[in-house]
Amino acid sequence: MLVGNDWGASIAWQAAQLRPDRFRAVAALGVPMMGRAPMAPSRLFPQNEQAWFYTHYFCEPGLAEQEFERDIALTLRKIYYKLLLVAMSPTML
């Protein structure tokens, strides 16, 4: 069984389609099975003053790692704190 969440769910679906001999089941959290995107995600989502998608942040080699590794414990606390706020009140996204 292969489990994927968000963008990982799409990867899980694709892996299962490419290698059904290796993966008998898929648990995709939050993303249904979809076909291949018509273009690369970096071109599909705009990046300008009005819109910025987290995928662009993770596409720049070393950028996320540099920021996260500056203080790993603090980074994790910030992520978990934000998740806690969202869990307590979904309107706080």
Contact 10, 31 (CB under 8 A): yes
- Residue with token string 């603090």: 74
Per-residue pLDDT tens for 66-79?
A: 999 999 999 999 98
Per-residue pLDDT tens for 7-47?
A: 788 889 989 999 999 999 999 988 888 777 777 766 777 77
Provide the whole-model pTM. 0.47
pLDDT the model gives residue 69 = 94
Q: What is the CB-side half-sphere exposure of residue 83 using CA atoms within 13 A?
A: 6
pLDDT the model gives residue 90 = 61
pLDDT the model gives residue 21 = 96
CA geometry: angle at 81 spanning 50 and 78, to 5°?
A: 65
- Residue with token string 């998608």: 53
Q: Rounded to the nearest 5°, which phi and psi values hold at 29? A: -100, 115
